[in-house]
Amino acid sequence: MIPKAVSHVLRNELVPVFISFNAWKCSNCRASLVPNGARRYSVLPPTTDSEEKAMLDRMLRVDHAGEYGANRIYAGQMAVLGRSQSGPLIQRMWDQEKYHLQKFDEILAENRVRPTVLLPLWNIAGFALGASSALLGKAGAMACTVAVEESISEHYNSQIRALMEADPDRYEELLQLIKQFRDDEIEHHDTGLEHDAESAPAYGLLKTVIQMGCRAAIYASKRI
Ligand SMILES: [Fe+2]
Ligand SMILES: [Fe+2]
């Protein structure tokens, strides 16, 4: 029988990494990439030219990276605060991030989009950010959540604007998905504020530094 701690690590730490790695590794075997029981997801129209394909690839790559990083941040927070009173609250947000990541894993595989090569870095950096913010206590974890979720929801808003300007009918399904995820991120942001984020030590500085990191991560993940 596998000890509980080992099965926890396998389930929460290794499986999400494996799924993302698989999406990159198997760009030619679409059928095997859809997790068992999940419905096939189709949010993108067939692309008409290489410019459109490049634009959509960049969007999906950075969205996938963001959701992957968010998952690692919540994993880090749960490693520190999982057994505290804040555990169930953080777990609820993490569960939504798992769903977001699963959707982007599916979309990347289905559309043969390569994930960013920076995933191993976001794996470590995300977990470290989550764990270190949680070491400041619940308020620190919530301050991190506010900073990150504000950056991600602003990022989604700018994508929504770009797709609306390009062709709202053509990208209707993708817009619907991004709007739904944007609303979830805003909810996470508001949850952080409702749970004492602003009383974290050096809240303003912490938020500014984390958001600078998020902007750099978004910039890099779009490109490589
Ligand atoms: Fe998310
Ligand atoms: Fe979120």
Annotated binding-site residues for Fe cation read: 67, 97, 100, 149, 185, 188
Topology at the third CATH level for domain 48-223: Ferritin (1.20.1260)
Place of tokens 């619940």: 138
- Over the chain, what is the mean pLDDT? 86
pLDDT per residue as tens digits for the range 176-211: 999 999 999 999 999 999 999 999 999 999 999 999
Q: Write down the pLDDT at residue 8.
A: 52
Q: Which residues surround ligand 2, an ion (CB under 5 A)?
A: 149, 185, 188
Average pLDDT over residues 113-129: 95
CA of 3 to the centre of ligand 1 (A): 30
Phi-psi region of 49 (alpha: psi -120 to 50; beta: other; left: phi over 0): beta
Collapse the DSSP code of 130 into the 3-class scheme (helix H, G, I; strand E, B; otherwise coil) and give the result: helix
Q: Which residues surround ligand 1, an ion (CB under 5 A)?
A: 67, 70, 97, 100
Q: Write down the pLDDT at residue 20.
A: 46
Put simply, whether the predicted model's pTM sits higher than 0.85 gets the answer no
Q: Write down the pLDDT at residue 32.
A: 35
CA of 1 to the centre of ligand 1 (A): 34
CA of 67 to the centre of ligand 1 (A): 5
CB 76 within 8 A of CB 128: yes
